[in-house]
Amino acid sequence: MTTKRTSKNLYFHLSRRHFIKGAAAGAMIVGAPAILKGLTRTAKGAEKGTVRMLMTAPTMIPGDWKTFEAETGLKMQETVMKDDTGLFLTEVQVNDAGDRFDIISTLAGVERPLIEGGNIIPIEHKNIPNWAGMPDSIKAVPYLTRELKPEGGSVWGTPLAMNADSFGYFPDKLGLPYPPEEVSWSLVFDDPKTMGKSATGTMFYYLEECAMYLKGSGKLQIGDPANMTPEEANKVADYMIERKKAGQFRSLHTTFDDQVQLIKNGEVLAIRCWEPAVKEAQKAGMKDFVYSNAKEGYMKWMHGCYIPAQVADRGNIEEVYKALNWILSGSYAAAISPLRGYVSGRPDLGAQYAKEKGLDAAAAAAIDEAQAKLGKKFAKDLFWFTGAPDHLAEIQAAADRFVNA
Protein backbone atom coordinates (compact mmCIF):
# COMPACT_ATOMS: atom_id res chain seq x y z
CA MET A 1 0.00 0.00 0.00
CA THR A 2 1.40 3.41 -1.00
CA THR A 3 0.68 6.10 1.53
CA LYS A 4 0.80 9.81 1.19
CA ARG A 5 0.69 11.92 4.29
CA THR A 6 -1.62 14.87 3.88
CA SER A 7 -2.02 17.47 6.55
CA LYS A 8 -2.87 21.07 7.14
CA ASN A 9 -1.33 23.23 9.81
CA LEU A 10 -3.41 26.05 11.20
CA TYR A 11 -1.14 26.42 14.24
CA PHE A 12 -0.81 30.17 14.24
CA HIS A 13 0.15 32.85 16.77
CA LEU A 14 -2.70 35.05 17.94
CA SER A 15 -2.51 38.44 19.53
CA ARG A 16 -3.80 38.73 23.07
CA ARG A 17 -6.73 40.77 21.75
CA HIS A 18 -7.79 37.94 19.44
CA PHE A 19 -7.34 35.40 22.23
CA ILE A 20 -9.72 37.34 24.45
CA LYS A 21 -12.24 37.42 21.64
CA GLY A 22 -11.93 33.67 21.28
CA ALA A 23 -12.25 33.06 25.00
CA ALA A 24 -15.29 35.32 25.20
CA ALA A 25 -16.89 33.44 22.34
CA GLY A 26 -16.22 30.22 24.20
CA ALA A 27 -17.85 31.56 27.33
CA MET A 28 -20.93 32.52 25.32
CA ILE A 29 -21.12 29.10 23.76
CA VAL A 30 -20.78 27.31 27.10
CA GLY A 31 -23.70 29.30 28.40
CA ALA A 32 -26.04 28.64 25.48
CA PRO A 33 -26.17 24.91 24.68
CA ALA A 34 -29.89 25.00 23.89
CA ILE A 35 -29.34 27.44 21.04
CA LEU A 36 -26.49 25.40 19.65
CA LYS A 37 -28.56 22.24 19.51
CA GLY A 38 -30.51 23.84 16.70
CA LEU A 39 -27.53 24.29 14.38
CA THR A 40 -27.92 22.61 11.01
CA ARG A 41 -25.53 19.74 10.38
CA THR A 42 -24.71 18.11 7.09
CA ALA A 43 -22.92 14.76 7.33
CA LYS A 44 -20.58 14.85 4.35
CA GLY A 45 -19.13 11.61 3.07
CA ALA A 46 -15.57 10.70 3.98
CA GLU A 47 -12.95 9.35 1.61
CA LYS A 48 -12.85 5.60 2.15
CA GLY A 49 -9.78 4.56 4.08
CA THR A 50 -8.94 8.05 5.37
CA VAL A 51 -9.57 9.31 8.90
CA ARG A 52 -9.61 13.08 9.29
CA MET A 53 -8.56 14.42 12.68
CA LEU A 54 -8.74 17.95 14.08
CA MET A 55 -6.06 18.49 16.73
CA THR A 56 -5.08 21.40 18.95
CA ALA A 57 -1.54 20.22 19.74
CA PRO A 58 1.08 19.34 17.11
CA THR A 59 3.16 17.70 19.84
CA MET A 60 0.60 14.86 19.92
CA ILE A 61 1.60 13.73 16.43
CA PRO A 62 3.79 10.61 16.81
CA GLY A 63 6.52 11.90 14.53
CA ASP A 64 4.55 10.74 11.50
CA TRP A 65 1.67 8.37 10.82
CA LYS A 66 3.59 5.70 8.88
CA THR A 67 3.24 3.05 11.58
CA PHE A 68 -0.44 3.90 11.97
CA GLU A 69 -0.99 3.46 8.25
CA ALA A 70 0.98 0.21 8.13
CA GLU A 71 -0.85 -1.34 11.09
CA THR A 72 -4.39 -0.16 10.33
CA GLY A 73 -4.48 0.07 6.55
CA LEU A 74 -5.87 3.59 6.96
CA LYS A 75 -4.49 7.01 6.16
CA MET A 76 -4.47 9.74 8.79
CA GLN A 77 -5.08 13.31 7.67
CA GLU A 78 -4.58 15.72 10.56
CA THR A 79 -5.28 19.42 10.80
CA VAL A 80 -3.75 21.35 13.68
CA MET A 81 -5.35 24.52 15.00
CA LYS A 82 -4.50 26.89 17.84
CA ASP A 83 -4.88 25.38 21.32
CA ASP A 84 -7.49 27.91 22.41
CA THR A 85 -10.75 26.96 24.15
CA GLY A 86 -12.87 29.69 22.60
CA LEU A 87 -11.58 29.11 19.08
CA PHE A 88 -12.02 25.34 19.35
CA LEU A 89 -15.60 25.58 20.61
CA THR A 90 -16.41 28.04 17.84
CA GLU A 91 -14.90 25.73 15.23
CA VAL A 92 -16.93 22.74 16.45
CA GLN A 93 -20.18 24.33 17.56
CA VAL A 94 -20.55 27.22 15.12
CA ASN A 95 -18.46 26.25 12.10
CA ASP A 96 -19.58 22.59 12.20
CA ALA A 97 -16.11 21.02 12.23
CA GLY A 98 -17.81 17.63 12.49
CA ASP A 99 -18.79 18.00 8.85
CA ARG A 100 -15.10 17.89 7.95
CA PHE A 101 -13.52 15.73 10.66
CA ASP A 102 -14.05 12.20 11.96
CA ILE A 103 -12.17 12.69 15.26
CA ILE A 104 -11.70 15.91 17.19
CA SER A 105 -9.06 16.23 19.88
CA THR A 106 -8.44 18.97 22.39
CA LEU A 107 -7.59 19.60 26.02
CA ALA A 108 -9.97 17.58 28.12
CA GLY A 109 -12.51 19.58 30.05
CA VAL A 110 -13.74 21.28 26.88
CA GLU A 111 -15.96 18.27 26.16
CA ARG A 112 -18.59 19.35 28.68
CA PRO A 113 -20.18 22.02 26.44
CA LEU A 114 -19.81 19.63 23.49
CA ILE A 115 -21.85 17.01 25.35
CA GLU A 116 -24.46 19.58 26.36
CA GLY A 117 -24.63 20.93 22.82
CA GLY A 118 -25.03 17.52 21.22
CA ASN A 119 -21.82 18.01 19.23
CA ILE A 120 -20.23 14.66 20.14
CA ILE A 121 -21.64 11.17 20.57
CA PRO A 122 -20.94 8.57 23.29
CA ILE A 123 -18.18 6.11 22.50
CA GLU A 124 -18.94 2.39 22.63
CA HIS A 125 -15.74 1.32 24.32
CA LYS A 126 -16.45 -2.35 23.55
CA ASN A 127 -15.52 -1.40 19.97
CA ILE A 128 -12.08 -0.34 21.18
CA PRO A 129 -10.29 -3.52 22.36
CA ASN A 130 -7.38 -1.65 23.95
CA TRP A 131 -9.75 0.27 26.24
CA ALA A 132 -10.33 -2.81 28.41
CA GLY A 133 -6.76 -3.01 29.71
CA MET A 134 -6.41 0.69 30.42
CA PRO A 135 -5.55 1.45 34.08
CA ASP A 136 -8.60 2.21 36.20
CA SER A 137 -6.95 5.45 37.30
CA ILE A 138 -7.14 6.67 33.69
CA LYS A 139 -10.63 5.34 33.06
CA ALA A 140 -11.83 7.20 36.16
CA VAL A 141 -10.65 10.60 34.91
CA PRO A 142 -13.91 12.56 34.62
CA TYR A 143 -12.94 13.99 31.24
CA LEU A 144 -13.60 10.58 29.69
CA THR A 145 -16.73 9.45 31.50
CA ARG A 146 -18.09 12.83 32.71
CA GLU A 147 -20.41 12.23 35.66
CA LEU A 148 -20.65 8.50 34.92
CA LYS A 149 -18.60 5.66 36.34
CA PRO A 150 -16.36 3.75 33.90
CA GLU A 151 -18.20 0.48 34.45
CA GLY A 152 -21.42 0.38 32.45
CA GLY A 153 -21.63 4.13 31.82
CA SER A 154 -21.39 6.16 28.65
CA VAL A 155 -17.85 7.03 27.62
CA TRP A 156 -17.43 10.39 25.92
CA GLY A 157 -13.75 10.30 25.03
CA THR A 158 -10.59 8.24 24.86
CA PRO A 159 -7.11 9.46 25.84
CA LEU A 160 -4.75 10.77 23.21
CA ALA A 161 -1.96 11.66 25.61
CA MET A 162 -1.55 13.27 29.00
CA ASN A 163 1.09 14.64 31.31
CA ALA A 164 1.67 16.24 34.68
CA ASP A 165 3.26 19.60 33.92
CA SER A 166 5.68 21.37 36.21
CA PHE A 167 8.84 23.38 35.53
CA GLY A 168 12.40 22.96 34.37
CA TYR A 169 15.44 24.00 36.40
CA PHE A 170 19.23 23.69 36.70
CA PRO A 171 19.91 21.64 39.88
CA ASP A 172 23.67 22.19 39.93
CA LYS A 173 23.51 25.93 39.37
CA LEU A 174 20.90 26.30 42.10
CA GLY A 175 22.44 23.84 44.56
CA LEU A 176 19.31 21.67 44.49
CA PRO A 177 18.68 17.92 44.08
CA TYR A 178 17.86 16.17 40.84
CA PRO A 179 14.56 14.33 40.32
CA PRO A 180 13.01 12.22 41.74
CA GLU A 181 13.62 14.40 44.80
CA GLU A 182 11.01 17.15 44.98
CA VAL A 183 11.61 20.87 44.69
CA SER A 184 9.17 23.73 45.20
CA TRP A 185 7.31 25.88 42.69
CA SER A 186 8.82 28.78 44.64
CA LEU A 187 11.71 28.52 42.15
CA VAL A 188 9.39 29.99 39.54
CA PHE A 189 7.51 32.50 41.68
CA ASP A 190 9.43 33.80 44.67
CA ASP A 191 12.82 32.21 45.37
CA PRO A 192 15.66 34.75 45.81
CA LYS A 193 18.03 32.36 43.99
CA THR A 194 15.99 32.76 40.79
CA MET A 195 15.20 36.48 41.06
CA GLY A 196 15.22 37.89 37.54
CA LYS A 197 16.06 34.43 36.16
CA SER A 198 12.69 32.68 36.15
CA ALA A 199 9.83 32.67 33.67
CA THR A 200 6.21 31.75 33.37
CA GLY A 201 3.63 32.20 30.60
CA THR A 202 0.78 34.43 29.51
CA MET A 203 -2.04 31.88 29.17
CA PHE A 204 -4.74 31.70 31.86
CA TYR A 205 -3.67 28.28 33.08
CA TYR A 206 -0.35 29.71 34.26
CA LEU A 207 -2.41 31.75 36.71
CA GLU A 208 -3.99 28.50 37.89
CA GLU A 209 -0.57 26.96 38.45
CA CYS A 210 0.41 29.87 40.64
CA ALA A 211 -2.86 29.32 42.53
CA MET A 212 -1.80 25.71 43.04
CA TYR A 213 1.53 26.85 44.49
CA LEU A 214 -0.13 29.40 46.77
CA LYS A 215 -2.63 26.83 47.99
CA GLY A 216 -0.06 24.05 48.40
CA SER A 217 2.33 26.31 50.30
CA GLY A 218 -0.42 27.72 52.51
CA LYS A 219 0.08 31.29 51.26
CA LEU A 220 -3.49 31.69 50.03
CA GLN A 221 -6.83 29.98 50.54
CA ILE A 222 -7.95 28.54 47.18
CA GLY A 223 -10.74 26.02 46.63
CA ASP A 224 -9.98 24.45 43.25
CA PRO A 225 -7.09 26.00 41.28
CA ALA A 226 -8.64 24.61 38.08
CA ASN A 227 -12.00 26.28 38.72
CA MET A 228 -11.34 29.45 40.68
CA THR A 229 -13.91 32.03 41.61
CA PRO A 230 -13.33 35.52 40.18
CA GLU A 231 -12.28 36.70 43.65
CA GLU A 232 -9.68 33.92 43.94
CA ALA A 233 -8.35 34.58 40.46
CA ASN A 234 -7.86 38.26 41.23
CA LYS A 235 -6.04 37.50 44.48
CA VAL A 236 -3.64 35.25 42.57
CA ALA A 237 -3.18 37.93 39.91
CA ASP A 238 -2.40 40.47 42.65
CA TYR A 239 0.33 38.17 43.98
CA MET A 240 1.81 37.61 40.51
CA ILE A 241 1.79 41.34 39.78
CA GLU A 242 3.64 41.92 43.04
CA ARG A 243 6.26 39.35 42.06
CA LYS A 244 6.52 40.80 38.56
CA LYS A 245 7.13 44.32 39.91
CA ALA A 246 9.72 42.90 42.31
CA GLY A 247 11.69 41.69 39.27
CA GLN A 248 11.15 37.95 39.68
CA PHE A 249 10.50 37.16 36.03
CA ARG A 250 13.05 37.40 33.26
CA SER A 251 10.32 36.94 30.67
CA LEU A 252 6.76 35.80 30.01
CA HIS A 253 6.61 33.25 27.21
CA THR A 254 3.76 32.84 24.74
CA THR A 255 4.88 29.92 22.57
CA PHE A 256 6.76 26.64 22.81
CA ASP A 257 9.64 28.14 20.85
CA ASP A 258 9.85 30.96 23.40
CA GLN A 259 10.32 28.39 26.15
CA VAL A 260 13.07 26.56 24.30
CA GLN A 261 14.98 29.73 23.45
CA LEU A 262 14.86 31.08 27.01
CA ILE A 263 16.46 27.84 28.18
CA LYS A 264 19.02 27.50 25.41
CA ASN A 265 20.07 31.15 25.67
CA GLY A 266 20.82 30.75 29.37
CA GLU A 267 18.31 33.45 30.32
CA VAL A 268 16.58 31.43 33.04
CA LEU A 269 17.47 29.16 35.93
CA ALA A 270 13.89 27.98 36.38
CA ILE A 271 10.99 28.14 33.95
CA ARG A 272 7.44 26.87 33.89
CA CYS A 273 7.51 24.97 30.62
CA TRP A 274 6.25 21.95 28.77
CA GLU A 275 8.27 18.77 29.19
CA PRO A 276 9.15 18.67 25.46
CA ALA A 277 11.00 21.99 25.95
CA VAL A 278 13.25 20.26 28.48
CA LYS A 279 13.84 17.42 26.03
CA GLU A 280 14.78 19.93 23.32
CA ALA A 281 17.31 21.55 25.66
CA GLN A 282 18.77 18.17 26.58
CA LYS A 283 19.07 17.24 22.91
CA ALA A 284 21.11 20.42 22.49
CA GLY A 285 23.55 19.18 25.13
CA MET A 286 22.08 20.77 28.26
CA LYS A 287 22.00 17.54 30.26
CA ASP A 288 22.05 19.48 33.53
CA PHE A 289 18.61 20.96 32.81
CA VAL A 290 15.80 18.75 34.15
CA TYR A 291 12.04 18.61 34.59
CA SER A 292 11.01 18.85 38.21
CA ASN A 293 9.22 16.59 40.60
CA ALA A 294 7.21 19.40 42.15
CA LYS A 295 6.44 19.56 45.84
CA GLU A 296 3.07 21.32 45.68
CA GLY A 297 1.63 19.45 42.71
CA TYR A 298 1.19 19.51 38.95
CA MET A 299 -1.05 20.81 36.24
CA LYS A 300 -2.35 17.42 35.15
CA TRP A 301 -3.93 17.48 31.73
CA MET A 302 -5.22 15.15 29.09
CA HIS A 303 -5.89 15.62 25.41
CA GLY A 304 -8.91 13.50 24.63
CA CYS A 305 -10.32 12.15 21.38
CA TYR A 306 -14.02 12.65 20.67
CA ILE A 307 -16.35 11.56 17.89
CA PRO A 308 -18.38 14.35 16.24
CA ALA A 309 -22.12 13.75 16.04
CA GLN A 310 -22.02 13.87 12.24
CA VAL A 311 -19.99 10.65 12.11
CA ALA A 312 -23.05 8.66 13.17
CA ASP A 313 -24.53 9.27 9.71
CA ARG A 314 -21.33 9.15 7.69
CA GLY A 315 -20.82 5.40 7.37
CA ASN A 316 -17.20 5.28 8.55
CA ILE A 317 -17.63 4.69 12.28
CA GLU A 318 -15.71 1.38 12.11
CA GLU A 319 -12.69 3.16 10.69
CA VAL A 320 -12.94 5.77 13.44
CA TYR A 321 -12.95 3.07 16.10
CA LYS A 322 -9.96 1.38 14.46
CA ALA A 323 -8.05 4.68 14.63
CA LEU A 324 -8.99 5.24 18.28
CA ASN A 325 -7.86 1.72 19.15
CA TRP A 326 -4.47 2.35 17.51
CA ILE A 327 -4.03 5.51 19.58
CA LEU A 328 -4.42 3.23 22.61
CA SER A 329 -1.87 0.79 21.21
CA GLY A 330 1.72 0.06 22.14
CA SER A 331 2.86 1.58 18.86
CA TYR A 332 1.54 5.03 19.73
CA ALA A 333 2.79 4.79 23.34
CA ALA A 334 6.26 3.76 22.15
CA ALA A 335 6.37 6.74 19.80
CA ILE A 336 4.96 9.56 21.92
CA SER A 337 6.67 8.85 25.27
CA PRO A 338 10.29 8.97 24.00
CA LEU A 339 9.46 11.87 21.70
CA ARG A 340 7.62 14.10 24.19
CA GLY A 341 7.66 12.47 27.60
CA TYR A 342 3.87 12.18 27.46
CA VAL A 343 1.82 9.34 28.91
CA SER A 344 -0.53 7.46 26.60
CA GLY A 345 -3.69 5.64 27.62
CA ARG A 346 -1.79 2.32 27.51
CA PRO A 347 1.79 2.86 28.68
CA ASP A 348 1.91 -0.85 29.57
CA LEU A 349 1.45 -1.75 25.90
CA GLY A 350 4.22 0.71 25.07
CA ALA A 351 6.61 -1.18 27.35
CA GLN A 352 5.56 -4.47 25.78
CA TYR A 353 6.04 -3.03 22.28
CA ALA A 354 9.51 -1.72 23.15
CA LYS A 355 10.57 -5.17 24.33
CA GLU A 356 9.11 -7.01 21.34
CA LYS A 357 10.60 -4.59 18.80
CA GLY A 358 13.95 -4.30 20.55
CA LEU A 359 13.85 -0.53 20.92
CA ASP A 360 16.99 1.09 22.24
CA ALA A 361 17.60 1.60 25.94
CA ALA A 362 16.79 5.34 25.86
CA ALA A 363 13.37 4.74 24.30
CA ALA A 364 12.59 1.90 26.71
CA ALA A 365 13.60 4.10 29.66
CA ALA A 366 11.34 6.93 28.48
CA ILE A 367 8.40 4.54 28.23
CA ASP A 368 9.10 3.16 31.72
CA GLU A 369 9.33 6.70 33.06
CA ALA A 370 5.98 7.58 31.51
CA GLN A 371 4.38 4.53 33.08
CA ALA A 372 5.86 5.42 36.48
CA LYS A 373 4.20 8.85 36.37
CA LEU A 374 0.82 7.24 36.99
CA GLY A 375 1.89 6.23 40.48
CA LYS A 376 3.90 9.35 41.27
CA LYS A 377 3.10 12.65 39.62
CA PHE A 378 -0.49 11.78 38.75
CA ALA A 379 -1.10 10.64 42.32
CA LYS A 380 -0.73 14.22 43.62
CA ASP A 381 -4.00 15.88 44.60
CA LEU A 382 -3.39 19.11 42.68
CA PHE A 383 -4.71 19.55 39.99
CA TRP A 384 -6.58 18.38 36.87
CA PHE A 385 -6.81 21.17 34.32
CA THR A 386 -10.06 21.93 32.55
CA GLY A 387 -10.20 23.90 29.32
CA ALA A 388 -13.55 25.44 30.24
CA PRO A 389 -13.69 26.56 33.88
CA ASP A 390 -16.95 28.08 35.11
CA HIS A 391 -15.49 31.60 35.18
CA LEU A 392 -13.25 31.45 32.10
CA ALA A 393 -13.73 35.08 31.09
CA GLU A 394 -12.93 36.36 34.60
CA ILE A 395 -9.90 34.10 35.00
CA GLN A 396 -8.60 35.19 31.60
CA ALA A 397 -9.14 38.83 32.54
CA ALA A 398 -7.13 38.32 35.75
CA ALA A 399 -4.32 36.68 33.77
CA ASP A 400 -4.33 39.56 31.30
CA ARG A 401 -4.14 42.04 34.17
CA PHE A 402 -0.92 40.31 35.30
CA VAL A 403 0.53 40.26 31.79
CA ASN A 404 -0.23 43.94 31.21
CA ALA A 405 0.96 45.15 34.62
Sequence-distant (≥ 6) Cβ neighbours of residue 18 within 8 angstroms: none
All structural domains of the chain with their residue ranges: 7-163+301-328, 167-297+384-404
Model pLDDT, residue 69: 97
CA-only gyration radius of the chain, Å: 21
Q: What does the pLDDT read at residue 382?
A: 86
Q: Do 7-163+301-328 and 167-297+384-404 show the same overall fold? A: yes
Q: Could you report the average pLDDT of every consecutive run of 10 residues in the chain (405 residues)?
A: 35 30 35 33 64 92 95 96 86 95 89 90 94 86 62 78 95 96 98 98 94 96 95 98 98 93 97 93 95 95 94 94 98 93 93 93 90 87 84 94 97
Predicted local distance difference test score (pLDDT) of residue 34: 29
Q: Which CATH class is domain 7-163+301-328?
A: alpha beta
253/231 Cα distance (integer angstroms): 25
Q: Are 143 and 119 in contact (CB under 8 A)?
A: no
H or E element that contains 87: helix 85-89
CB 190 within 8 A of CB 198: no
pLDDT, residue 389, reads 87
Identify whether the C-beta of residue 133 lies closer than 8 Å to the C-beta of residue 349: yes
Q: Are 196 and 276 in contact (CB under 8 A)?
A: no
pTM of the model: 0.79
252 - beta bridge partners?
200
What span, in angstroms and rounded, lies between the C-alpha atoms of 99 and 161? 25
- The per-residue pLDDT for 378 is 87
- 167-297+384-404 maps to which CATH number? 3.40.190.10
